[in-house]
Chains A and B, each alone.
Chain A
Amino acid sequence: MRKILSLAAALAAGLVLAGGVGTQAQAQEKLKVGFVYIGPVGDFGWTYQHDQGRKAIEKEFGDKVETTYVENVPEGPDAERVIEQLARAGNKLIFTTSFGYMEPTLKVAKRHPKVMFEHATGYKRDKNVSTYNSKFHEGRYILGQIAAKTSKTGTIGYIASFPIPEVISGINSLMLGAQSVNPDAKVKIVWVNSWFDPAKEADAAKALIDQGADVISQHTDSPAAMQAAEARGVKAFGQASDMIAFGPKAQLTSIVDNWSPYYIKRVKDVLDGTWTSTDTWAGMGDGEVVMAPYTNMPDDVKAMAEATEAKIKSGELNPFKGPIYNQDGKLVVKEGEVLPNGDILSMNWYVKGIDDKVPGK
């Protein structure tokens, strides 16, 4: 009896294997594209926007591509397993969309030299590994200008996630924008030490409002702060997605991550056979950082925001153009110079006027 059972099991396993090979052979004509996400596609933030990019690929290329995604993949050994599986399943282009996937991506890429990898927000590359990121800080400069113009108390609230360069350069860019229209502008910063905890983000927004901030900016992923601002009758900026539905009277604008142009371009490169390993740090001019419509503000503020947006897009304005002083009053960027990209990507100091310490320093 046992023998028959094991025979049946072996037969079944064989059938499954054959089936697997069959589908793979059929799928050969299509380009298979895989995505690894840090959060759920339903976060309405970072991962949600990457998934919009994936959908844009499907829409653009139709039958020529087949996309797969794996969500909620923790950074670390689990990531390597997932990326390896995607590579073995025949994906020829794999996007890994979180900073912590850097080493796992490189490791798997070594084992699969014919598969092309795209790692978001990292800085290490290989023959078949590209990196890409967006200049979100460009958008934050505009937020700073709008906030300084609209705030009645002169205090801008800032909900920050983790003290990493991307977040710190965002705070600095916002402050420089604010100072460009009101030299006495103040930023109050609350660190929630989380990318995604809606209730805590709402609590942080309420705390900032209670302390006199009347424009709330955030570098966390959920629309909770926007909703809290709406309920308390103050203004706010959305993050990652257009959050106007959550703050019809509160939202001034949102910084929207738009990965679609990059994703479509890279898939096209693979289809055309022109893909090479590159390092892309695109911004507003490339359509990767998009400002949601300017709402709930006077016409002159809107005109100012639009003018600044046009200048950033054309390259006429760089948020990190000197003179820039740090908190100790030391001149960091001289007049007429701009901070090099590498210094922005490793920023761990505040500009003058910010009344906070960089955590851990």
Chain B
Amino acid sequence: MLDAAILGAVLASIVAAATILLLASLGELVAERAGTLNLGVEGMMIVGAAVGYATAYGSGSLILGTIAAVLAGAALSLVFAGLAIWLAANQVASGLATTILGLGIAGLIGSPFVGTRLDAAPALYIPGLSDLPLIGRVVFGQDAFVYLSLILLGVVAYGLARTRTGLVLRAVGESHVAAHALGHPVRKIRTLAVMFGGACAGLAGAQLSLSYTPFWASDMTAGRGWIALALVVFSAWKPMWLLAGAYLFGAVSILQLHVQGFGLGIPSQLLSALPYLATVGALVVISALKRGQGAPASLGVPFVPDR
């Protein structure tokens, strides 16, 4: 029923669907490893999508649009950082406020662009390689966002585990008091981690409005920021498990559509819930296998330095 070309196309869809989640959750993972729980992912993502689209539409350059989206996501994350890190406000409330603010700002920025469209970000094409059956389009025929997400994943995974910067960042997340006593600027480090999270969420938004569905519509992220947040928790704050979770979620969410198309008679409501069930199930199992790898100890706790 499925020949190689179709299977290749399906796999390519899965990779694209997973990339949005991977980009957004990678950034949040870094912020959370530094001890800040930023529930503003959805807001930073949609602002990235709106600013990215507006810039790309105005300038005609997808690269400029992407850069603008990254900067916009980082800028909105500063609102959260200011409230939650520097004013030591409740992180959950600050994060929710950031999401609500982001949805509003994005709707405002995007309103002149409703009903317009862009040409999608071009996919890579390497003569020969991209034409390989099955893996050609999946490995050598994606757009820049996919490769960027994998590079970022490598950088984050390596950076957190093997570099001094990563060690300090983790120390701040585990015990901000101890890190502070050692002379590390806890709040500055957290702010930078949150900004990285915002930048990644903005990048995910840019993938959505410049590549995946290259147009602007209010609320077009449709809750993907929340899924990214959940993936971070379920992956037990491990970059490589995040990769597995994002791709599993992407795979099940695409495959359930195909199952429906074949008309197997499985209720569509159940199929729509499958990506969530499968991801939760798989990640719970892997977290259970490696016990004692819980949340960063200072996650969500505001830090107020005593002089």
- Name A residues whose Cβ lies closer than 8 Å to a Cβ of B: 39-45, 48, 72, 157, 163, 188-194, 196-204, 206-208, 210-211, 213, 222-224, 227-228, 231, 241, 245-246, 355-357, 359-360
Q: Which residues of B contact A45 (CB under 8 A)?
A: 217
Contact B107 A40 (CB under 8 A): yes
Partner of A210, one of B9, B260, B269: B9
Contact B213 A224 (CB under 8 A): yes
Which of B213, B220, B253 is the most central at the interface, judged by chain A CB atoms within 10 Å of its CB?
Answer: B213
Contact B267 A207 (CB under 8 A): no
Cα separation A222 to B272 with both chains bound (whole Å): 19
Interface residues of B in 197-211 (CB under 8 A from A): 208
Q: Closest 7 A-B residue pairs measured CB to CB?
A: A40-B218, A191-B268, A207-B257, A42-B218, A197-B222, A198-B213, A42-B114
Q: Can you give 23 A-B contacts (C-beta < 8 A)?
A: A40-B107, A42-B217, A43-B217, A44-B215, A163-B268, A189-B260, A190-B268, A196-B222, A198-B213, A198-B217, A199-B212, A199-B224, A203-B254, A207-B260, A211-B261, A222-B215, A222-B220, A224-B213, A227-B215, A245-B117, A356-B263, A357-B265, A359-B268
Cα separation A99 to B17 with both chains bound (whole Å): 31
Q: Does B111 have its Cβ within 8 Å of any Cβ on chain A?
A: yes
Known: A40-B219, A210-B9. A199 touches B213 (CB 8 A): yes
Q: Which residues of A contact B267 (CB under 8 A)?
A: 359-360
Q: Which residue of A lies closest to B268 (CB)?
A: A191
Contact B272 A192 (CB under 8 A): yes
Q: Which residues of A contact B260 (CB under 8 A)?
A: 189-191, 207
Q: Does B67 have its Cβ within 8 Å of any Cβ on chain A?
A: no
Contact B213 A207 (CB under 8 A): no
Q: Which residues of B contact A222 (CB under 8 A)?
A: 213, 215, 217, 220
Q: Which residue of B lies closest to A205 (CB)?
A: B257
Contact B117 A188 (CB under 8 A): no
Helix, strand, loop or mixed for chain B's interface?
A: helix
A161 to chain B, nearest CB (A): 11
Which of A40, A189, A227 is the most central at the interface, judged by chain B CB atoms within 10 Å of its CB?
Answer: A40
A38 to chain B, nearest CB (A): 11
Contact A202 B9 (CB under 8 A): no
Cα separation A126 to B278 with both chains bound (whole Å): 47
Helix, strand, loop or mixed for chain A's interface?
A: mixed
Known: A193-B269, A198-B217, A224-B213. A203 touches B257 (CB 8 A): yes
Contact A193 B17 (CB under 8 A): no
Cα separation A96 to B135 with both chains bound (whole Å): 51
A349 to chain B, nearest CB (A): 15
B192 to chain A, nearest CB (A): 30
Q: Which residues of A contact B222 (CB under 8 A)?
A: 194, 196-200
Interface residues of B in 173-231 (CB under 8 A from A): 208, 212-220, 222-224
A189 to chain B, nearest CB (A): 7
Q: Does B20 have its Cβ within 8 Å of any Cβ on chain A?
A: yes
Q: Which residues of A contact B268 (CB under 8 A)?
A: 163, 190-191, 193, 359
Q: Which residues of B contact A188 (CB under 8 A)?
A: 261, 263
Cα separation A202 to B253 with both chains bound (whole Å): 12
B264 to chain A, nearest CB (A): 10
Partner of B117, one of A42, A189, A227: A227
Q: Does B292 have its Cβ within 8 Å of any Cβ on chain A?
A: no
Known: A44-B114, A208-B261, A241-B115. A203 touches B219 (CB 8 A): no
Q: Which residues of A contact B213 (CB under 8 A)?
A: 198-199, 201-202, 222, 224, 227-228
Q: Which residues of B contact A48 (CB under 8 A)?
A: 114
A198 to chain B, nearest CB (A): 4
Cα separation A191 to B212 with both chains bound (whole Å): 20
Contact B269 A207 (CB under 8 A): no
Cα separation A222 to B115 with both chains bound (whole Å): 10
Q: Which residue of B lies closest to A222 (CB)?
A: B217
Q: Which residues of B contact A210 (CB under 8 A)?
A: 6, 9-10, 13, 258
